[in-house]
Chain A
């Protein structure tokens, strides 16, 4: 297992905690009745997106799903704009027209957030195709869950990406559930990464709760893509600790299994690695405190921000204003 230098470890830790603290804040706002919007909780999957985003450059492209908070915040969307969009404000990334399921922020490479399971893969191919045509060296990452591996678009996109050797990374966050259906009830292949073999593609399954395994796989895939060696399918094993969307019943998830998976929680594991690398408790706590302060200020500013003007309905349908 490749070593990760201290700067990169601090970077990954910061991104991971940004994802986690954003998630905690969102859940507390929902539970406190302060906001009432759809939110797809990422508790348990923080490290996967943080380590993947830490392996990218600022101008690399990302396509994610409605459960994309991890990619979005870890890639660097400013908290104020992200929260404003989630709360439907005019100052949000998408002027309040996208919402939690459709966050876009090209400045940080977040090109599409789709609400349709599996639909991001074919689009990621196109972003990668543009990079291949332009020779600009950019890499595209598309994130999706295990459930997405059964739609037709997944298979069409895998075949096309390998055929053209596109600089794209298919990041499957295998959180063990496709909506309310457990992995074993929707798929009978041993692993999602096995499917890469069927397309002649490199596929790896990694422990998405282990920073070395996860970052190593991400870095390796990015290097292959940049070198023109084509796509990689990374299956990151993780666990969606709560239901499909926050507030939904998840009694279908066996409590003993949740308890078992909580023992694999990526956060204490990451903290342990940090301490082993001579980061102090104080330094780690200070990073979290800074993140919390930033999030609190962002939420406050979003709540005070103006609502969208109804005249916006005529704008952005087409380039020209609608009559």
Chain B
């Protein structure tokens, strides 16, 4: 099939879903051809195929975008709403948290909200404090929303298709720094089931539990440490909420050690939840405390030197792994 980038993978998944189901449509700021096919080109070429009703360019109105997606989903369509940058979800939290997440439950299962909210973010491109945050923990804390983030192009394609299929609202987080990553094209119709983690690399000494862009750092560090005889298992969650607890616990039971790693700030992050759950359920098998690695507890800075110091670094990951396995 050849190689595809994550940008192409997402575009192909949406294109194929739209071709197969007339109820799938996209809406968001600048998404249509007239505006350039999306700031990150994810919807490029789709207006020409499906018209402006199915690739709807909207005003800058996040609340109205999400509300419209919710209403259309209630009526049986499958909207894909784009919130251009993840920090802007703050503008429309009421629609996401009070409505999209809760309408199935509050209606006693009479209605459902099968929508995807695509959003992008990421530290490392100099976007500063209001365009860079990973806010997955905000949504993981609310019952009724699924939170997904891919770490490679093939997963992006399969997870996007599964998210569009899903009968519940999904927040789909795309890391800007991952858009150029290439994978072998898994072909049309490829799906990665939601809620299933991947063992990105097998190992026996410590489990490194992560997702999104930091999977790349985890794999690089694991490769480096293998030369020193330290065997790191990398678990790529792929779906952050609800996460694949069985795979995480099985991995930790095998290695006896666990470290959680994410780009989002460490305090109150998802890593705290994973760590607490591991301590509760694997206490007898643990050879040491579960460690957590996350971003610095400040706004994301602008200057490159500050930004690189803010994000969890590979040396930090190496240090944590060595501390965990008693090789510090």
A interface with B by C-beta (< 8 Å):
61, 63, 92-98, 102, 104-106, 111-112, 114-116, 119, 121-134, 140, 152-153, 156-157, 159-160, 163-164, 315-319, 322-323
B66 / chain A contacts, CB cutoff of 8 Å: 122
Tell me the bound Cα distance from A160 to B58 in angstroms. 8
Query: When A123-B99, A160-B58, A160-B59 are in contact, do A104 and B68 touch as well, CB less than 8 Å?
Result: no
Contact B146–A318 (Cβ < 8 Å): yes
Contact A159–B74 (Cβ < 8 Å): no
User: CB-defined interface of B81-106 with A at 8 Å, one 1/0 digit per residue?
Assistant: 00000000000001100110001111
The residue of chain B having its C-beta at the shortest distance from the C-beta of A98 within the complex is: B106
Query: When A123-B74, A126-B73, A130-B77 are in contact, do A315 and B109 touch as well, CB less than 8 Å?
Result: yes
Contact A156–B54 (Cβ < 8 Å): no
Looking at the assembled complex, report how far the CB atom of B78 sits from the nearest CB atom of chain A, in whole angstroms.
10
Contact B71–A125 (Cβ < 8 Å): yes
B interface with A by C-beta (< 8 Å):
23, 25, 53-54, 56, 58-59, 61, 63-64, 66-77, 79, 94-95, 98-99, 103-112, 143-144, 146, 166-168, 242, 245
Given A97-B105, A119-B94, A157-B63, 16 other A-B contacts at CB below 8 A?
A92-B108, A93-B107, A94-B108, A97-B107, A98-B108, A104-B108, A116-B98, A125-B64, A125-B67, A132-B53, A153-B67, A316-B104, A316-B105, A317-B143, A318-B146, A318-B242
Contact A112–B103 (Cβ < 8 Å): yes
Tell me the bound Cα distance from A322 to B146 in angstroms. 12
B67 / chain A contacts, CB cutoff of 8 Å: 119, 121-126, 153, 156-157
Tell me the bound Cα distance from A122 to B98 in angstroms. 13
Looking at the assembled complex, report how far the CB atom of A121 sits from the nearest CB atom of chain B, in whole angstroms.
7
Query: When A126-B74, A126-B79, A156-B61 are in contact, do A319 and B167 touch as well, CB less than 8 Å?
Result: yes
The residue that A127 contacts in the complex, of B72, B99, B105, with Cβ under 8 A, is B72
Looking at the assembled complex, report how far the CB atom of B218 sits from the nearest CB atom of chain A, in whole angstroms.
26
Tell me the bound Cα distance from A102 to B105 in angstroms. 10
Contact B94–A318 (Cβ < 8 Å): no
Contact A319–B77 (Cβ < 8 Å): no
